[in-house]
Amino acid sequence: MLNFTYENPTQIVFGRGTVAQVGRLIPRDRTILMTYGGGSIKRNGVYDQVMKALKGRPVLEFGGIEPNPSYETLMKALPRARREGVDFLLSVGGGSVLDGTKFIAAAIDYEGEEPWDILAKGAPVKSAVPLGCVLTLPATGSEMNRNAVISRRSTKEKLVFTSRHTLPKFAVLDPTTTFSLPPKQTANGIVDAFVHVLEQYLTYDVNAPLQDRQAEAILRTLVEEGPKVMKKPKDYDARANVMWCATQALNGLLSCGVPGDWATHQIGHELTAFYGVDHAESLAIAYPAVMRHQRKEKAKKLRQYGERVWGIREGSRDERIEAAIEKTEEFFRSLGVKTRLKDYGIAKGLERIGARFQARGASLGERGNIGPREVGEILTLCRK
């Protein structure tokens, strides 16, 4: 096992009716900025529940944060938040609203000229306004991690920053808030969580059987519970199980002491930045191709994954690996998430992605063996 440190102080408040606890979770003396997206929280009643919980408290609102939250939109929140002395942010919505809120929290305190430098140049986040969330879409794990992914529309960039200061103080996870999710977003969330686990599990063996089995437990639970929520969107237990899986998939626990891959996420972010596919769609395209490209390097874990998650015990070593990859693709497609570039009409301009990694001097994957040329080969596999 590799060395690691682990700390995760986010308070999780999980279950039916928990939105009512938001008032108690935010210190009484705070001026709150409540952030949200395009209006789903007004249609499904979550907005009203939050407002009721915060009755009599100073609450400002900032809505309109879009999926793949944009720098351009988020910057609009700053003047008012600073002027009104906002000292707590409450994100109500999915991962995009939460990531956008993390950025606003860091940008309010940022002393440099251009907050984009936090993303583009890794400018340090020395402090941030504290934040909490009511999460309505299980997918990203953002509710219990330090990451935020922000897009800049004008330059077609999508970049990540990570800071301990933007870890949510609390996350309210009420599975009933997810009943209203459209099937596409439900499926996206399952795929995203599934790939988060794989990025931390399907690497090379470092003799960490606990982490392996924690990962396999989440994968198998998603395989069992995912189809249930697709079939019955108001199945509370299935929604609860998917929600807790998604949080556990990217709260740092699975990464303890093991190598991380993340090539698929990096390639996927470029696919979203250039072509606008949803985050999970980009992963469903890129992950099978990464598995195929890296089948030798990942052979041992691919066979373990095939056997323990999909019950594949027959066939030659190579056949078992191919079967595991096919099972993964079938699972994504069974949820309605397509797995090839052509399914989205993407054919041209892919060389821009390799060029970007070239410019960044990037070498991706758990072995750092995926450079710009290999990214090109992986994108070719995404076409087949």
Tell me which residues touch ligand NZQ (CB under 6 A): 37-41, 44, 67-68, 93-97, 99, 136-137, 139-142, 145, 147-149, 177-178, 180-181, 185, 188-189, 192, 250, 265, 279
| CA nearest neighbour of 295 among 266, 319, 271 | 319
**Beta bridge partners of residue 328, listed in sequence order:** none
Q: What region, left, alpha or beta, does residue 237 occupy, with left being phi > 0 and alpha being psi -120 to 50 degrees?
A: alpha
192 versus 366: smaller Cβ distance to ligand NZQ: 192
Q: Which of 99, 157, 192, 366 binds Zn ion (CB under 5 A)?
A: 192
199, 259 contact by CB (below 8 A): no
Interface region with Zn ion, contact rule CB under 5 A, candidates 90-98, 186-194, 206-214, 351-359 = 186-194
Q: How far is the CB of 49 from ligand NZQ (least distance, A)?
A: 12
129 versus 353: smaller Cβ distance to Zn ion: 353
Retrieve residue 231's tokens. Answer: 């079939």
Strands (E), 121-215: 131-135, 147-152, 157-162, 170-173
Q: How far is the CB of 90 from ligand NZQ (least distance, A)?
A: 14
30 versus 196: smaller Cβ distance to Zn ion: 196
Determine, following the binding rule CB under 5 A, whether residue 174 of this chain makes contact with Zn ion: no
The secondary structure of 293-325 as a DSSP string is HTTTTTHHHHHHHHHHHH----S-HHHHHHHHH
Determine, following the binding rule CB under 5 A, whether residue 99 of this chain makes contact with Zn ion: no
Retrieve residue 80's tokens. Answer: 């008012």
Cα 284 to Cα 123: distance, rounded to the nearest angstrom: 31
Q: How far is the CB of 203 from Zn ion (least distance, A)?
A: 16
Answer with the entry of ligand NZQ, Zn ion, none that 339 interacts with (C-beta below 5 to 8 A by kind).
Answer: none
| CA nearest neighbour of 275 among 95, 149, 100, 151 | 151
Angle at 215 between CA 95 and CA 362, to 5 degrees: 65
Determine, following the binding rule CB under 5 A, whether residue 278 of this chain makes contact with Zn ion: no
134 versus 249: smaller Cβ distance to Zn ion: 249
Q: How far is the CB of 209 from ligand NZQ (least distance, A)?
A: 26
Interface region with Zn ion, contact rule CB under 5 A, candidates 32-40, 154-162, 189-197, 326-334 = 189-197
Q: How far is the CB of 299 from ligand NZQ (least distance, A)?
A: 26
Q: How far is the CB of 56 from Zn ion (least distance, A)?
A: 38
Cβ neighbours for 86, distance < 8 A, ≥ 6 positions apart: 31, 32, 33, 60, 80, 108, 129
Answer with the entry of ligand NZQ, Zn ion, none that 185 interacts with (C-beta below 5 to 8 A by kind).
Answer: ligand NZQ
Which positions touch Zn ion (CB under 5 A)?
Answer: 192
